[in-house]
Amino acid sequence: MLGECGMKEWERRVLRQNSVTILQDLVVDDLLIQCLQQDGILTENMAETIMAKPTSQGKSRHLLFLLPKRGPQAFSSFCAALTATEQQHLSRLLMDFTEKDKSFSEPSLSRPTQECVIPVKRARTHESMEMCLDADSPVTTAVVPCMPEFYQSHRSQAYPMRSCPRGLALVLSNVRFDSANTDLDVRRGGEVDEETLRRLFMELDFTVSLHKDLTAEAMRRCLEQFAQRQEHAEYDCTVVCLLSHGVEGSVYGTDGQLLELDWVFEVFDNARCPLLQNKPKMFFIQACRGEEMDNGVDQLDGQERTQSPGCEQRDAGREGERDDKEREEKDRERLRVKLPQRSDMICGFATLKGFSTAAMRNTKKGSWFIQELNTTIRQRANDTHLADILVQVNGRIKSREGYAPGSAHHRCKEMSEFTSSLCKDLYLFPKYYPNN
């Protein structure tokens, strides 16, 4: 039960004076709201009102509006919830601010001892075909926001990115497989990847749907239903993430059956998904494309050799005399704008096509590819288009080595890649809305 009095004045002041940073960095997700509900800080109606806000900043703004009115424990509970949801940088900011400000008339706030109950992760058992390595990984930081000046100077050559939310995001994550029908192992650390992507795209103001441990047929149904959602008409882009075991061209369902990636792309093409025509469609595939391990090669001194592939062009038009009837038919046909069957797609793969290589995954921090994708988007999406971000991800992956002394995986390598049919620059313009 809440006490009669509200938040202390110096606690209100701390929130007020740090509101800009909080609004910029805070991720208000289901877990944070649950923490505050369990402590009695938020009612169910308050939680629903907050989560109904369409943008990340809208959720944060409404939460900051409510907190000062929710009793003397609201501040400490908020700090505890920040820690529980891996937003320790904000918790430390608030705590350090209270300790340094000598003008406060009340004693400095001690670090909260109250802890939020965090859902227990499912037990992990067997090793995975994706190599499980336990080296350290980059620390997640808040998404850097886009500045208005950058938006104004780059929007003309970029895909429109003004909708709020930006779009729908779908994450399909298979961690545990049916042992009765397949010998596929548990993907240890796969839970970390799914949560990393969920939080990343929520912070980028996508509406995220996460589905776990699906058969191949259930994955097909889920993808088809997602592609036909009417909200696509109102939003500017979409994201699909597939996390599972895989082989070249396919990923596995939990029943050991394969889902072909070409079919996935077809579901979102211009014919089958007209609501996303001319809008960017992003795909990220965390899966093996075989079982071979890349042991790397020794780098030799000297300049790298490059080859530029030849390009063959074919004129799509026909030259020559035409009679009047043919010309009229062609002119009528030109009035209808036509699109290629598949366009405006970009797909990042954890491993190279054609090399049958395994993807590397840290059992505690998640896969290399998702780690680097998450870090690079957070740091560079404010001023870098997605194709260049994926080039930087490739560079980060190229420089990594496995750390597993005494095993065949020690100093093993991985190389990611991406394919693109984008027709403009794809900037996410994070946390910037020109109409607001």
Q: Would 9-100 and 131-293+342-420 be classified into the same CATH topology?
A: no
Where along the chain do its domains lie? 9-100, 131-293+342-420
Specify whether domain 9-100 bears CATH 3.40.350.10. Answer: no
The set of residues, in sequence order, having a beta carbon less than 8 Å from that of 171 and lying 6+ positions away, is: 194, 197, 198, 201, 208, 209, 210, 211, 241, 243
Name the packing angle between helices 368-380 and 386-399 (round to 10°): 130
Asked if residues 193 and 366 have their Cβ atoms less than 8 Å apart, the reply is yes
With H, G, I as helix, E, B as strand and everything else as coil, classify residue 209: strand
With H, G, I as helix, E, B as strand and everything else as coil, classify residue 247: strand
With H, G, I as helix, E, B as strand and everything else as coil, classify residue 135: coil
- The bridge status of strand 345-349 relative to strand 281-286 is parallel
pLDDT at position 31:
87
Cα distances from 300 to residues 304, 305, 373, 383, 396, in angstroms, run 9, 12, 29, 34, 20
- Phi/psi class of residue 61: alpha, beta or left (left: φ > 0; alpha: ψ in -120 to 50)? alpha
Q: Cα separation of 321 and 311, whole Å?
A: 29
Q: Cα separation of 375 and 101, whole Å?
A: 33
> What is the model's pTM?
0.66
pLDDT at position 116:
38
For domain 131-293+342-420, give the fold.
Rossmann fold (3.40.50)
pLDDT at position 100:
52
pLDDT at position 332:
54
The H or E element that residue 348 is part of is strand 345-349
> Among 404, 395, 297, 417, which residue's Cα sits nearest to residue 361?
404
pLDDT at position 153:
96
> Among 227, 320, 327, which residue's Cα sits nearest to residue 277?
227
pLDDT at position 207:
95
In this predicted model, what pLDDT tens digit does every residue of 58-115 receive, in sequence order?
888 889 888 888 888 888 889 889 988 888 888 888 887 655 553 444 443 333 333 3
pLDDT at position 72:
87
pLDDT at position 198:
94
Residues designated as active site: 245, 288
With H, G, I as helix, E, B as strand and everything else as coil, classify residue 7: coil
Return the structure tokens found at 182: 């397949």
Asked if residues 191 and 236 have their Cβ atoms less than 8 Å apart, the reply is no
50: Cα separation from own chain's centroid? 22
Q: Within 13 Å, how many C-alpha atoms sit on residue 216's CB side? A: 16
- Phi/psi class of residue 251: alpha, beta or left (left: φ > 0; alpha: ψ in -120 to 50)? beta
Q: Cα separation of 391 and 397, whole Å?
A: 10
pLDDT at position 406:
60
In this predicted model, what pLDDT tens digit does every residue of 179-237 receive, in sequence order?
888 888 888 888 999 999 999 999 999 999 999 999 999 999 999 999 999 999 999 99
Going 361 to 362 to 368 to 370, the CA torsion angle's sign is positive
Residue 83: φ, ψ to 5°: -65, -40
The set of residues, in sequence order, having a beta carbon less than 8 Å from that of 92 and lying 6+ positions away, is: none
Residue whose structure tokens are 């030849």:
310
Asked if residues 189 and 132 have their Cβ atoms less than 8 Å apart, the reply is yes
With H, G, I as helix, E, B as strand and everything else as coil, classify residue 168: strand
Asked if residues 265 and 386 have their Cβ atoms less than 8 Å apart, the reply is no
Give the residues of the chain that fall short of pLDDT 50: 1-4, 102-139, 302-322, 356
Q: Cα separation of 186 and 124, whole Å?
A: 7
